[in-house]
Amino acid sequence: MGMTKMHCITDYWRQVDLYNFRFPRSVMPCLKFQLINTAIHMSDPDDDAANKAHRGTPEYDCLHKLKPMYTELREACRNNFHPYQHIGVGEREVCSTVQDPQNKYGYKWFVLGDSRCGYMWDFHMNEGRPAMARDEGLSYDCVMELVSTKALGSGYKLYVVDDLNNNSPELFKDLLQQKVWACGTVRPNCKGFPTNRPGSLDKKSPRGAIRWIREDPLLFVQWRDKYDGHMCSTMHQAHAGQTIQRKVKGANGMWSTQNIPVPPAVKDYIKRGDEADLSDVVTRYYNLPAISRKWYRSLFFDLIDIAIVNAFVLHREMIAQSKKGETPKTQKAFREELVEQLAKAGSPATRFATAPPSSSSAPVGGMHLPVYLGEDATRVRKRCIVCQLKTPISCQSCDLPFCFVSDRNCYHQWHMQNVT
């Protein structure tokens, strides 16, 4: 469904010329898919009822219905890969099909990703104001939750992307104490930003103008591009003579490409910040549709997207490190092979199994014709065994799949003799 977009879920099973997809029908019927989609649940209903009784108290867990899969997938993502030196923290939005008064614009993950390959090493969702450790703000708590030196280690260079626009200088100081150098955007009116200092940019300042001030160990940079940008860094110099290309409109009204000065903090932030969002960009190409009105089901499908993209990144990293000259697959080819393997693993091979021998000598799957049994149809009418082969079930005695469901006791003997 992520590779072939349809407006309605039932369109995947429609047998018309415009929507004639054979693959979904070969995996399961439409009704079964809808029933499974309706019944998706990740937590114990008894535990949900106990958690609901604590609503309004500190013991209430707003992510309880998501926690089993949420915690297991976070642990799996951390255990199967270790990031390189450059990492980034950003936001990942998850839209919902129904507007929640508390979440009008959907739901939001805070993601720690690798800036080199785009692997999502960890992700976190804020659980509300009572769960915050300090009063520094939401960005501070989420970044400190993700950048855990116990599991991640130290010596990293962190780029906090501009989605988290509530960064504070106190965040960069605390990260530096953990031996994690950081760079990101800050607001000029945030707590700890140096104000009332002479020499700041004004409206007449040209494009490419740079103003900076250092309050050891923090470096604050103001740079004029199309708009003013304010940066805070603990790992950059103020100015290194670097330039960046921009299109500038001259006095004659003609556009031309010019090289304008740029601080090292801004240039590295533009490069590494875009790479940190690479995993989110890759996911949007083939993301799963929001096919449920329940908030935890929408997040369930987004967690599947995260798992698929991380598996794709691991595939590329393993090919690159093997040094055998192999070419890694594209994301489309990777997903196509994944779909085929999942279909084989999830669809039983005996779904079209041979039915037990009937009174007719015609082979199963071949010609099966009605036989005259009598005039009283209410007493002698029977069902066709071959037409009844729809949903496979398991034999109660040997746990092997079969499709004939009329007489299980008699069928088990035939099943053991002909199938096993």
Q: Encode pLDDT of 247-296 as tens digits.
A: 887 778 888 888 888 888 888 888 876 666 666 677 777 877 766 677 88
C-alpha distances in angstroms, 17 versus 1, 3, 8, 13, 14?
Answer: 19, 19, 16, 12, 9
Do 296 and 377 have their domain in common? no
Sign, Cα dihedral of 33, 44, 60, 307:
negative
For range 135-146, the mean pLDDT: 78
Do 66 and 193 have their domain in common? yes
Residue 17 lies in a domain: no
CB 259 within 8 A of CB 245: yes
Listed residues 339, 366, 396: the one ending a domain:
339
pLDDT, tens only, 227-237? 888 888 998 88
The total number of structural domains in the chain stands at 2
Do 334 and 357 have their domain in common? no
Do 269 and 406 have their domain in common? no
Do 159 and 103 have their domain in common? yes
Give the percent of the chain with pLDDT over 70. 72
Do 320 and 377 have their domain in common? no
The parent domain of residue 354 ranges over 350-420
Residue 246 has pLDDT above 90, yes or no: no
Do 176 and 295 have their domain in common? yes
Residue 169 lies in a domain: yes
Residue 349 has pLDDT above 50, yes or no: no
Give the percent of the chain with pLDDT over 90. 7
In sequence order, which ranges of 323-396 are alpha helices (DSSP H)? 331-346, 377-380
Interatomic CA distance for residues 223 and 195, integer angstroms: 16
Stronger pLDDT, 170 or 189, i.e. the higher one: 170
Q: Is 340 helix (H, G, I), strand (E, B) or coil?
A: helix
> What local confidence, expressed as pLDDT, does residue 72 receive?
92
Residue 311 has pLDDT above 90, yes or no: yes
> What local confidence, expressed as pLDDT, does residue 391 receive?
52
Interatomic CA distance for residues 302 and 292, integer angstroms: 12
Do 92 and 112 have their domain in common? yes
Listed residues 305, 339, 373: the one ending a domain:
339
Q: Is 110 helix (H, G, I), strand (E, B) or coil?
A: strand
Q: What angle do CA 395, 396, 401 make, to 5 degrees?
A: 20
Residue 119 has pLDDT above 80, yes or no: yes
Residue 326 lies in a domain: yes
Residue 322 lies in a domain: yes
Residue 10 lies in a domain: no
Do 81 and 226 have their domain in common? yes
Q: What angle do CA 394, 395, 398 make, to 5 degrees?
A: 115
Residue 44 lies in a domain: no
Report how far Cα 239 is from the mean position of its chain's Cα atoms.
Answer: 38
Do 233 and 283 have their domain in common? yes
> What local confidence, expressed as pLDDT, does residue 338 receive?
92
Position 165 confidence tier, pLDDT thresholds 50, 70, 90: low
Residue 397 has pLDDT above 70, yes or no: no
> What local confidence, expressed as pLDDT, does residue 239 receive?
81
| Weakest mean pLDDT among 99-113, 250-264, 303-317, 336-350 | 99-113
Position 28 confidence tier, pLDDT thresholds 50, 70, 90: confident
Tokens representing 338 are 């994944």
Cα dihedral 8/12/14/20 (nearest 10):
130
Residue 170 lies in a domain: yes
Listed residues 316, 339, 362: the one ending a domain:
339
For range 285-313, the mean pLDDT: 83
Do 357 and 412 have their domain in common? yes
For range 377-390, the mean pLDDT: 61
Do 300 and 389 have their domain in common? no
Residue 299 lies in a domain: yes
